[in-house]
Amino acid sequence: MKNLIFAIIMALVLMSTSCSKDEVPGSAVVFDMMLFITILDSQGNNLLDPNQEGYYDPSKIKIFYERNGKLEEFYESHLDMPRNFRIDSPEFGRDYRMALVLDSEKTVIRWNEDESDAIQAELYKTDDPHIRVTKVYFNGEKKWDAADLIDREITIIK
């Protein structure tokens, strides 16, 4: 009898904490907007490698997003990636690369005071909170397409 009462109480507790009528079980917010960039010079040297001459110093790199027709610099000091990018060190056979969040359809990377590049992203948005990148253009040249079914990685020669 004790087990039956315990089972009924547990069932009532579980029913009272279940999803409301408006919630869809398993629904989640999905933002798939990361791009991985390898930057090489004409001799094949990685310009994100701090041991390379002429490398791009991450402390000087700035990211701008187009919002309402204007470019706005992104910087939020409380984030793990305050400028919405990080430099990944070599691992698993990969070289240094930039992991960049494409937070709008147009992103500008200012590498230093003299150099910058533009990235255009085509975004797929649905009514439920789901956004993902479907195409990437670097300075107007298509570099990645979701239809190719490969990782969202591009290599740039400077």
Q: How far is CA 143 from the centre of its chain?
A: 16
pLDDT digits (tens, 9 = 90+) for 72-106: 999 999 999 999 999 999 887 789 999 999 989 99
Is a pLDDT exceeding 50 seen at residue 5? yes
* Cβ-based neighbour number of residue 52 at 10 Å: 15
Nearest to 62 by CA among 44, 49, 42, 76: 76
The segment with the largest mean pLDDT, out of 4-8, 26-30, 32-36, 135-139, is 135-139
Band of pLDDT at residue 9, cut at 50, 70 and 90? low
* pTM of the predicted protein model: 0.76
Pairing relation of β-strands 70-73 and 62-67? antiparallel
* Cβ-based neighbour number of residue 130 at 10 Å: 14
pLDDT, mean of residues 33-52: 94
* Cβ-based neighbour number of residue 153 at 10 Å: 16
Give SS3 for 25: coil
User: With 0-12 CB in 10 A as exposed, 13-18 as middle and 19+ as buried, what is 48?
Assistant: buried
Could you list the beta-strand ranges (E) of the chain: 30-32, 34-40, 62-67, 70-73, 85-88, 97-101, 106-110, 116-126, 130-138, 141-145, 153-157
pLDDT digits (tens, 9 = 90+) for 101-157: 998 999 999 999 999 999 999 988 777 677 788 899 999 999 989 888 778 899 999
